[in-house]
């Protein structure tokens, strides 16, 4: 296996009807899957197959004038939005611009072949492009979505690279215009991906410090193990990729203009706090304790948190269970208030 080879390809499901996406199976299997051509008939896909200009003109029909956040990096960066070499800043600029200005940058790069990169990250369809989803939407005919409505966003740019990172939501990534390659890794590969700083980050999430275009295996030797566990999903216009929450993914867009629509959702109740906060607090309270104490606390976490959720309370009378009882909105609010009081000591 050479430095750039990841031999495994993501599973492909052929012939899935748009109204028959097997959501229950996807959630049960918890593995990335390409749903081939599920969105092929969407108007945005069809306009993109005509030309980049046709796709941009179509999107512009739904724009209501609210400035969008544009990222731009110089030609020498190859479209990779990342840190400076010294990791003391970023290699890109960011600003709010009207959509037509962003499209001008795309068209200039396309006409002049400068290699300059322009990019718009997750942008809420309903707020910025009302009506676009009405014509370009997945059939969400699973009861899961009745109580866990997804956040639906659009991503646009030319040749761009989002370094490997994880999201805390499940994802359906719909390739609309241009092509996209996702390089995916299961969550247990975190140590082999060499995560960067917790903050600041290029796009909000921690990213791998490994440049996938040319991995430095002397500096990052464990990346070989990540490659052996990884997989590659190559998307054509109209393809939809499902991958579970917390899977690492490096995303590269190919084309003079690219667009993707994605659906993020969680199945946890809204009152459940983000585990990212727990991780940060654990750094404050656990990370630097002596190893014997850390192992003891690991046993406690296995019992109270990572084991069966009903086990810690099953031998207690209901009136005595307190925070060990099943969490609900009222208990969550009380527990959050208690934690804030303790943190503000």
Q: Using one digit for the tens of pLDDT, what is the confidence trace for 109-156?
A: 999 988 899 999 999 999 999 999 999 999 999 999 999 999 999 999
Is 3 part of any domain?
no
**Quick one: 325 and 188 in the same domain?**
no
Question: Which of 139, 135, 145 has its CA nearest to residue 154?
Answer: 135
Q: Are residues 212 and 321 in the same domain?
A: no
Average pLDDT over residues 303-326: 94
Domain shared by 136 and 250, yes or no: yes
Q: What is the pLDDT of residue 344?
A: 84
Tokens read off for 15: 């012939």
pTM over 0.75: yes
Asked if the model's pLDDT at residue 2 lies above 70, the reply is no
Specify the pairing of strand 68-73 against strand 231-235. unpaired
CATH of the domain at 109: 2.60.120.10
pLDDT tens digits, 33-82:
999 999 999 999 999 999 999 999 999 999 999 999 999 999 999 999 99
**Domain end marker among 226, 241, 265:** 265
* Banded model confidence at residue 4, pLDDT cuts 50, 70, 90: low
How far apart, in Å, are the Cα atoms of 168 and each of 144, 191, 255?
Answer: 17, 18, 28
Q: Residue 138's closest CA among 20, 283, 235, 234?
A: 20
Instruction: Judge whether 205 lies within some domain.
Output: yes
Q: What is the pLDDT of residue 120?
A: 98
Examine the domain organization and report whether 37 and 182 are in the same domain. Answer: yes
CB-count exposure of residue 292 (10 Å: 0-12, 13-18, 19+) = exposed
- Is residue 99 domain-shared with residue 242, that is, in the same domain? yes
Single residue among 265, 291, 311 that ends a domain in this structure: 265
Say whether 15 sits in a helix, a strand or coil.
coil
Of the three residues 265, 293, 323, the one that is the final residue of a domain is 265
The domain of 300 spans: 275-343
Domain membership of residue 17 (yes or no) is yes
d(Cα 138, Cα 39) in Å, to the nearest integer? 8
* pLDDT single digits (tens) 155-173: 999 999 999 999 999 999 9
CB 166 within 8 A of CB 49: no
Closest CA to 174 of 204, 152, 203, 189: 152
Quick one: angle between helices 43-50 and 52-60, nearest 10?
140
Across the chain, mean pLDDT equals: 95
Q: How many domains does the chain have?
A: 2
User: Is the pLDDT score of 29 beyond 60?
Assistant: yes
> How many Cβ atoms are within 10 Å of 154's Cβ, its own excluded?
25
Q: What is the C-alpha to C-alpha distance for residues 104 and 107, in angstroms, rounded to an integer?
A: 5
């Amino acid at each position: 296996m050479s430095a750039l080879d990841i031999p495994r390809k993501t599973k492909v499901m052929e012939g899935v009807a748009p109204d028959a996406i097997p959501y229950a199976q996807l959630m049960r299997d918890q593995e990335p899957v390409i749903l081939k051509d599920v969105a092929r008939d969407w108007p945005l896909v069809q306009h993109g197959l005509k030309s980049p200009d046709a796709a941009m003109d179509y999107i512009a029909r739904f724009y209501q004038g609210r400035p969008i956040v544009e990222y731009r990096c110089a030609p020498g960066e190859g479209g990779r939005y990342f840190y400076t070499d010294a990791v003391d800043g970023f290699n890109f600029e960011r600003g709010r611009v009207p959509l037509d200005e962003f499209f001008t940058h795309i068209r200039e790069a396309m006409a002049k072949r400068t290699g300059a990169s322009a990019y718009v990250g997750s942008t809420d369809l309903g707020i910025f492009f009302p009506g676009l989803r009405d014509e370009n939407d997945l059939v969400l005919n699973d009861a899961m979505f009745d109580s866990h409505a997804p956040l639906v966003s659009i991503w646009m740019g030319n040749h761009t690279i989002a370094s490997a990172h994880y999201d805390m939501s499940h994802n359906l990534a719909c390739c609309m215009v241009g092509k996209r390659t996702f390089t995916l890794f299961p969550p247990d590969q975190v140590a082999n991906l060499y995560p960067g700083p917790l903050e600041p980050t290029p796009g909000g999430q921690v990213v791998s410090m490994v440049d996938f275009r040319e991995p430095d295996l002397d500096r990052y030797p464990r990346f070989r193990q990540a490659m052996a566990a990884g997989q590659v999903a190559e998307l054509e216009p109209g393809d939809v990729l499902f991958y579970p929450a917390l899977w690492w993914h490096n995303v590269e867009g190919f084309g003079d203009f690219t667009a993707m629509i994605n659906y993020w959702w969680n199945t946890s109740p809204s009152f459940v706090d983000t585990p990212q906060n727990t991780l940060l607090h654990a750094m404050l309270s656990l990370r630097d304790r002596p190893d014997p104490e850390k192992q003891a606390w690991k046993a406690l976490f296995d019992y109270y948190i990572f084991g069966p959720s009903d086990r810690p309370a099953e031998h207690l009378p209901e009136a005595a269970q307190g925070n060990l009882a099943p969490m609900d909105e009222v208990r969550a609010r009380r527990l959050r208030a208690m934690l804030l009081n303790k943190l503000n000591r």
